[in-house]
Amino acid sequence: MTAADPARLDEFRRQRFGMFIHWGVYALAARHEWVRNRERLSRDQYQPYLDRFDPDLFDPAVWARAARDAGMTYMVLTTKHHDGFCLWDSELTDYSVRSTPWGKDLVGPTADAFRREGLGVGFYHSLLDWQQPDFPIDGLHPDFERDGVDQHGRDVAHYAQYLHGQVEELLTKYAPVDTMWFDFSYRNWRDAQGRPLVGGKGAADWRSDDLISLVRRLAPQALINDRLDVDGSADFVTPEQYQPVAPVVIDGVPVTWEACQTLNGSWGYDRDNLDWKSPELLIKLLVDTVSKDGNLLLNVGPNGRGELEPRALDTLAEIGRWMRLHARSIHGAGASAFAPPRDCRYTQRGDRLYLHVFSWPFRHLHLPGLAGKVRYAQLLNDASEVRRVSHDEGAVTHPALGTTPDDLTIELPIQHPDVAV
Ligand code: JFZ
């Protein structure tokens, strides 16, 4: 299996912060992108959402600006989710924007808008497809309980051909694509009772090896994620809605990773959701991710009129307020070999060490192992000097403090600087 272009991989690792966009006709149901599955909606019961999909306020320049202002450097857009609905005018199916009142492509304009703001463009593409007649019904399919495993001649090889054809369309029509984010394989999954999931699917179904070759051929610069069920093929791995405890290492080798996270637990627009993460928590999530050498792909779910809701825009703006002053500790930064004190994270870029203080201490912070290693210290938000306290000053070396001569002790202002986090 050919590997990704190392320069592109390096760029990705420096980008650090991206926008995930989950958008489709499920935005009209406004209760999670799995609504067709969760509520066992038939194709006909789902059809009203296609019949009414008309995002009259669609203006991807607004999304792109919100992303850029938040300090994001790339985006990943759902070209097709599990419901099979295509956000572009595919030649291989009518189950797309073409069959909606809106009637036209949404992928091209979105990609263009983000490129105009200088952001990278990646495509999420669902391997599952609950619409294609050749996709075998399985335990995750909305029609499973009604139709069981009676496949009515469904032919997964034929579906794979369709899948490859669509990926080819996307990579040629919207070149250059920076990332293909495939989702997902479930060959060995178990159901809620612990029994093997009926009809689980993986590499043999998607013909993943050929799919990877296709991407390498058409988009040599594109990175491919780890959900194709091919060991060792992934350019990066994708922990979803959990944080690794340390830089991710697989078989003794550090790997490139990208955490994906929601704003509120749902990927698609979810009107009645009250479970919003605070901007402060999200900034900590970003810092924590970079401190472990990862990227953060933070999701938004535009609504049925094509807008990001105020709660999402406000959150992004607040993150941007912090990023305006602290981006240099994120972009191009990564893990440090130094161990931070309690409730802190380090990110490092070259010889610059950034100390992120999650819980503001009382005046002093003792930084293990940094004695004699720091030439100058300052706050990032206002460039004001942070003074070091030397070890011969009684108060700081008092044995009850538990500091050692290897510690560098710095003196912080009593008040937390007036910026987000
Ligand atoms: C998938 C989708 O089902 C979901 O709607 C969303 O698009 C998300 C980004 O990706 O969710 C998954 C996929 C794989 C696993 C868990 C959730 N997994 O392998 O554990």
Residue with CA nearest ligand 1 atom 8: 267
Dist CA 73 CA 199 (whole Å): 38
DSSP string, 67-95: HHHTT--EEEEEEE-TT--BSS--SS-SS
Question: Residues 222, 177: contact at Cβ < 8 Å?
Answer: yes
Residue with CA nearest ligand 1 atom 2: 183
Nearest Cα neighbor of 164 from 130, 207, 131, 122 is 207
Amino acid type, 20? F
Pocket perturbation via mutation, ligand 1, pick of 126, 267, 269 by most ligand atoms within 8 A of CB: 267
Nearest Cα neighbor of 243 from 261, 225, 255, 265 is 261
Is the pLDDT at 235 greater than 70? The verdict is yes
Nearest Cα neighbor of 18 from 242, 324, 298 is 298
Q: Is the CB of 267 under 6 A from ligand 1?
A: yes
Least confident of 12-26, 112-126, 243-257, 302-316: 243-257
Model confidence over 344-363: pLDDT tens digits? 999 999 999 999 999 999 99
Is the pLDDT at 65 greater than 70? The verdict is yes
Model confidence over 380-409: pLDDT tens digits? 999 999 999 876 665 555 566 667 888 999
Q: Is the CB of 5 under 6 A from ligand 1?
A: no
As a whole number, the mean pLDDT across the chain is: 94
Residue with CA nearest ligand 1 atom 16: 240
Angle value at C-alpha 303, between 298 and 307, nearest 5 degrees: 80
Model confidence over 163-186: pLDDT tens digits? 999 999 999 999 999 999 999 999
**Whole-number pLDDT of residue 399:** 62
Residue with CA nearest ligand 1 atom 1: 183
Break the chain into its structural domains and give their ranges.
Answer: 6-329, 344-411
Q: Helix %, strand %, coil % for the chain, to 5?
A: 30, 20, 50
Query: Which atom number of ligand 1 is nearest to the Cα of residue 124?
Result: 7
Model confidence over 111-155: pLDDT tens digits? 999 999 999 999 999 999 999 999 999 999 999 987 666 666 899
Q: Is the CB of 240 under 6 A from ligand 1?
A: yes
CATH of domain 6-329: 3.20.20.80
Q: Is the CB of 322 under 6 A from ligand 1?
A: no
**Whole-number pLDDT of residue 342:** 94
CB atoms within 10 A of CB 103: 12
Q: Which residue has the tokens 């990705």?
A: 12
How far does residue 238's CA lie from ligand 1's centre (Å)? 10
Dist CA 75 CA 81 (whole Å): 16
